[in-house]
Amino acid sequence: MKPLTGQTKYGWFVLVLLLIFFCSSCAWIKDSGQLSFLKRDLEGKVLTNPKDYNANYMLGIAHAVRGEKVSTASTNLGKFFLKGAIPYLEQAIRIKPDLAEAHLALGEIFGNDKINDGIGAIRHTLIAKKLFERQNKIESLAIANANLQIFSKKFFSFHLLGITKVQIPEPS
């Protein structure tokens, strides 16, 4: 067996890199297709019934997931999808203001570097925290507390402005 020359080694290296890139892009396209199908289905449900909490919440989450996935490839595209999630999550909160999951998701989106809304991030995460306490959801409460610590450091001045005195929705 002949030893590989430098040029042949380089050729194999490039071939392996191209193969890895091709496989990862195929997986990304598959995920995007599934999200697109889910998004179309949920958009149809929201158009049929704008007061559908689950459809609004899930459509907001689908936009947020898509924004997180594409944000590494394109900052503007990630911001576009994250901003697209906000109205759906806000509508879900208008429908059922005492459900903490939508508040937590909205807080995470507002706290994302691409949106960077400190007041919104702390406000919605604090509401989620208090609702999780009321509902005795320990694991979700821990996530809300961790997010509050991150947002308090990131948006320090907003935390000092008294944003922690927010009105918590009553159970419906």
For the stretch 60-88, pLDDT in tens is: 988 888 887 766 656 777 788 889 899 99
Mean pLDDT (the chain) is 77
Residue keyed to tokens 């948006």: 155
Q: Dig out the tokens for 136 from the structure.
A: 């005795």
Task: Pick 71 or 127 by higher pLDDT.
Answer: 127
Spatial distance between the Cα atoms of 127 and 102, rounded to a whole number of angstroms: 10
Task: Pick 133 or 44 by higher pLDDT.
Answer: 133
Q: Kindly provide the residue ranges of all beta strands, DSSP E only, lying in 15-160, ordered along the sequence.
A: none
By C-alpha distance, which of 110, 99, 101, 93 is closest to 150? Answer: 110
Spatial distance between the Cα atoms of 130 and 167, rounded to a whole number of angstroms: 10
For the stretch 100-119, pLDDT in tens is: 999 999 999 999 888 889 88
Contact assessment for residue 101 and residue 137, using Cβ atoms and an 8 Å cutoff: no
Task: Report angle CA 37, 43, 46 to the nearest 5 degrees.
Answer: 145
- Report the chain's terminal Cα–Cα distance, integer Å: 76
Flag whether pLDDT at 14 surpasses 50: no
Burial annotation 100-120 (CB, 10 A radius, 16+ → b, else e):
bbbbbbbbbbbbbebbebbeb
Flag whether pLDDT at 29 surpasses 50: no
Task: Report angle CA 125, 126, 128 to the nearest 5 degrees.
Answer: 65
For the stretch 141-156, pLDDT in tens is: 999 999 999 988 888 7
Q: Dig out the tokens for 93 from the structure.
A: 């909160």
Task: Pick 52 or 169 by higher pLDDT.
Answer: 52
Contact assessment for residue 98 and residue 170, using Cβ atoms and an 8 Å cutoff: yes
Q: Collapsing DSSP states into helix, strand and coil, what is residue 143?
A: helix
